[in-house]
Amino acid sequence: MQIVRLELEGIGPFTQRQVVDFEELSTGGLFLLEGPTGAGKSTIVDAIVFALYGDVASSESSKGRIVSTLLPDGVEPFVDLTIDTKHGLLRVRRVPEYERVKRRGSGKTTVKASIKLWKLADPDAEGTPVSVNIQEANDELSRAIGLTKSQFTQTVVLPQGQFATFLKAKPEDRRGILQDIFGTELYQRIANRLAEMATDKRHAVDKAIDEATQTAANFCQVAWYDDAQAAIDQIPEQVQFDDLVDNQGFDSLSELAAARLQVLADQSAELDDRVKTAQGQLRAARQALDKEQKRNEAITERDGLLARKRELTSDAARVQMKAERLALAERAEKVRHLLAEVKKSLKQTEECERVLRELTATVSTGAQADLVAEPLSAEQYEQAQQKALTAAGGLEALVRDEASLPRIESDLDAAELTLQSTAKQLRERQEALKSASQRVGELEAELKQLRDEATGLPTAAAAESEASRVLTAARMVETLTNSLTDLRKAEDHARAGEMQADAAYRTARQAWLDSLAGTLASELADAEPCPVCGATEHPAPATIVAGSATRDEVDNFERQRHQASKQLLEATAECNTAAQRIKEQKQASQGLSVEQATQAHRAAMEQLEHLQKAANRAGKIDEQLQELRNNNARETEELRTVEQDKATQDERNRTGRRHLEELKSRVSKACGDYPTVASRMDAIRRRASHAGRLAAAQRSVSEARRNALER
C-alpha cells in the first residue's frame, strides 16, 4: 500500500484546509516532516490512521480529540485520503463525530461520524462510489490494506514512543505481523504440511509393521502342526520364525514362509492322493453294500411269495368245487334262452354277409380289385392292411420332400442371384480399392513436395515479423515527428504560463507578508487571548494595508504556480520522450521510409502466405492420406471377408444343388406308376382302408356264424 494524497480540515491544529501530496514528496526519495512540538506532525499520522480505520494511531489518545478545538462555525471537519492498494486506487473521506451550532434555536447538536469510499482509475479522477456505510467501507479497506490497525501502527506508521515497543515485542507477535506484511505464512503452512506428512508416513509405516507382524503370527499359527509329536521336529524352525517376527526381519520371514509353504504344498499333494485312494475304496464298499441289500430284498420277496403259494394251495379244493357248481348254473341258463339267441345269431349272420357282399362288390370295381379276386380270410386282409400302412408310412418323408422341392429350388435360385450380385459388387469394390491405392501414391508425392516447401515457413514468419516491426517503427517515426512540433509549441506555452504564475505568486506572497499583522489584528476579539502574546486586551491593533492579499489568495496563487510548473515539467518530459522515441524508432526502422517498409512487408507477407497455404494444404493432405489409408485397410479386410463369405456361399449352393438332385431322384423312384408320391401314398392308404374294412366284415361274418353254431 502507498499513500498518494492527504487532505484535511478542522483536524487538530489545522483549522484551515491542508493538502499533503505524498507522491510529489516521494519523487526525491525519503522526506522528513519536521516542526516544533504542537506543529501537527502527529496529527498527520493520526489523520492517516483515522481515514483508514476510523481511530487515532496511539492507544493512549482518543479519536474524540481529533476534531480541532478552534473549529470555526459552519466548517465540517474531515480527512480525505487517497491510497494505492492491491485492489487499486481508493479514496476515503471520513468526517469524525463533532458538535455544531443548531440551525434553529440555541445551543449545539452532535453530528454523527460518516464515511465515503470511492474506487479511482486515476488520482485526479472523480472515481466510482463504493459505499457510504461505515461497516462496509471498513471491511473493503481492511481487505485492500491487508493489515489490522494494530499491525498498521506497528509497521507502516509508529506513534511517538512506540518504535521501541515493536522492537521489544515477543518473537511470535513480530512473526505474526511480518507474516501478514510479507506473506511468509505460505512457508509456515508448507512446514506444517511437511510435518503432518512425516507424521502420517510414520503412522503408515507403524501400521504396515503391525499388519505384517499380525499376518506373520497368523501364518505361524496355521503353518505348523498342533500335534505335539509332529511339532517336536518343527520346534527349531518355528522358533526361528517367531524370532524373526519379534525382530521384524521381514525379508528372511518371506523366504522362511515360502519354504514352509512348499513343504505344506507337498504334504497337501500327498494327502490328496491318499484321499483319492480312500474315496475309491469307499465307492467299492458302497457298491458291495448295495448288491447285498438287493440280494436281501430278493430273499425277503421270495419268502413272501412262497407263503402266498402255500395259502393258495390250501384253498384250491374249495375253489374247484365252487367253479363246477358255477359251470352247471351257466349251462342251465343258456338252455333257457337258447332259441331266442339262435334266431338272433342267424339274423346277425345274414346282415354281416350282406355287408361283406356289398363291400366286395364296391372294391371289385376300383383300383384295389385284386383284394377280392379270390376269397381271403380276415387275417389275410389284416396282413394286406398292415402291409399297405407300412408302405404308406415309408412314403410320408418322401411326400414332405416332394412338397419342399419347389421351395428348395426357389431358394437355390435366389441364392445364385445373390451370389452373382455379390461377385459383381466385389469386382466393383476391388476396382475402387485399386483406384484409392493409386490416389494414395499421388497424394504422398504431393505431400512430400508441399512439406519441402513448408520447411521455409519459420524463416518466412520471422522475416514477416521483422518487416512488420520495421513498418511499425517507420510509421511511428512519421507520427512522432509530426507530433513533436506540437509538443514543442505546448512546451513553450507551458513555460510562459509557469513564469507568469510564479510572478503572480511572488507578488501576492509579498503583499500578504506585508499585511500579516493587520490580518491577525482583524481576527482579535474582546476578552479573547491574543494568539501571539496571549493578552486579553488589544489597545492598538494593526490595520490591513490597502492592496494586500489574504492567505487563501496566496495559497491559490501557489497552487496555480505549482500546477503551471507541473504542466511545464510534463510538457518538457513529453518532448524529451518523443525525441527519444523518434531516435529509437529510426534505429528500429533501419532508416527505411514508410513506403519502402510497406513494400518490404508486402513481399514478406506474400511469401509467408504462400508457405502457410502450402503448410495448410500439407496438413489437409496428410489428414486425407491418413483417412484414405485407414479406409483402404478397412476395405481390404472387408473384401477379404466378403471373398471368404462368397466362397462359403458358393460351396453351400453346390451342396444344395446336389441335395436337390438326390431328392428328385428319390421322389421319382418313389412315384412308381403314379404322377406323384402323394397320389401313390393316397392310393396305398385307400387300399389299407379297404383291406381293413374287408377284414372287419369277414371277421364279423365268421363271428356271427360261430355264435350261431355254438347256440
Going by pLDDT thresholds of 50, 70 and 90, the confidence category of residue 186 is: low
Contact 680, 394 (CB under 8 A): no
Contact 45, 31 (CB under 8 A): no
Per residue in 388-413, pLDDT tens? 677 667 777 777 777 777 787 788 78
Give dist(CA 468, CA 592) in Å, integer.
Answer: 12
Contact 179, 188 (CB under 8 A): yes
Contact 58, 27 (CB under 8 A): no
Kindly report whether the global pTM for this prediction surpasses the value 0.85: no
> Residue holding cell 533501419?
590
Q: Which long-range contacts does 246-255 make (Cβ < 8 Å, 24+ apart)?
A: 248/209, 248/212, 248/213, 250/212, 250/216, 253/216
Residue 680: CB atoms within 10 Å: 20
Q: What percent of the chain has pLDDT over 90?
A: 8
Domain boundaries, the chain: 2-146, 190-284, 370-452+618-706, 457-592
| Core vs surface per residue 351-377: b (16+ CB within 10 A) or e | ebeeebeebbeebeeeebeebbeeebe
The average pLDDT across 597-608 equals 82
Give dist(CA 405, CA 666) in Å, integer.
Answer: 12
- Rounded to 5°, angle at Cα 644 from 640 and 649: 145
Per residue in 232-245, pLDDT tens? 555 666 677 776 76
Give dist(CA 46, CA 79) in Å, integer.
Answer: 10
Contact 478, 581 (CB under 8 A): no
Q: Is the pLDDT of residue 688 over 80?
A: no
Using DSSP, state whether 160 is helix, strand or coil.
coil
What pLDDT is attached to residue 354?
A: 66
Q: Looking at per-residue confidence, does 531 or 552 come out higher? A: 552
The average pLDDT across 444-469 equals 78
Q: Looking at per-residue confidence, does 205 or 399 come out higher? A: 205
Q: Looking at per-residue confidence, does 247 or 473 come out higher? A: 473
Per residue in 509-522, pLDDT tens? 777 766 665 666 66
CA 349 to chain CA centroid, nearest Å? 101
Give dist(CA 96, CA 92) in Å, integer.
Answer: 13
Contact 355, 697 (CB under 8 A): yes
The average pLDDT across 207-212 equals 79
Nearest to 145, CA basis, from 80, 53, 63: 53
**Reduced 3-state DSSP string for 579-642:** HHHHHHHHHHHCCCCHHHHHHHHHHHHHHHHHHHHHHHHHHHHHHHHHHHHHHHHHHHHHHHHH
Going by pLDDT thresholds of 50, 70 and 90, the confidence category of residue 6 is: very high
Going by pLDDT thresholds of 50, 70 and 90, the confidence category of residue 231 is: very low
The average pLDDT across 541-570 equals 78
Cα of first residue to Cα of last residue in the chain, in angstroms, is 147
CA 92 to chain CA centroid, nearest Å? 47
Per residue in 69-115, pLDDT tens? 778 888 899 999 999 988 889 999 999 998 888 877 777 888 899 99
Beta bridge partners of 118: 91, 129
Residue 10: CB atoms within 10 Å: 22
- Topology classification of domain 370-452+618-706: Helix Hairpins (1.10.287)
Q: Is the pLDDT of residue 19 over 90?
A: yes
Q: Is the pLDDT of residue 122 over 90?
A: no
Q: Considering the chain, what is the average pLDDT of its residues?
A: 77
What pLDDT is attached to residue 228?
A: 44
Q: Is the pLDDT of residue 299 over 90?
A: no
At a CB cut-off of 8 Å and minimum separation 6, what does 541 contact? 521, 522, 524
Q: Looking at per-residue confidence, does 652 or 396 come out higher? A: 652
Helix (H) or strand (E) holding 14, with range, is none
What pLDDT is attached to residue 234?
A: 56
Give dist(CA 388, CA 688) in Å, integer.
Answer: 5
What pLDDT is attached to residue 630?
A: 85
Give dist(CA 249, CA 258) in Å, integer.
Answer: 14
User: Which three three-digit cell numbers place residue 368?
Assistant: 384295389
Q: Which long-range contacts does 457-460 make (Cβ < 8 Å, 24+ apart)?
A: 457/608, 457/611, 457/612, 457/614, 457/615, 460/604, 460/607, 460/608, 460/611
CATH code of the region 2-146: 3.40.50.300
Contact 683, 674 (CB under 8 A): yes
| Residue 639 burial class via C-beta count within 10 angstroms: exposed 0-12, middle 13-18, buried 19 and up | middle
Q: Is the pLDDT of residue 531 over 60?
A: no
Going by pLDDT thresholds of 50, 70 and 90, the confidence category of residue 554 is: confident
What pLDDT is attached to residue 367?
A: 60
Per residue in 655-682, pLDDT tens? 887 887 787 777 777 777 777 867 767 7
What pLDDT is attached to residue 8?
A: 94
What is the DSSP-derived secondary structure letter of residue 532? Answer: T
Nearest to 146, CA basis, from 207, 83, 85: 85
The average pLDDT across 603-611 equals 80
Q: Is the pLDDT of residue 559 over 80?
A: yes
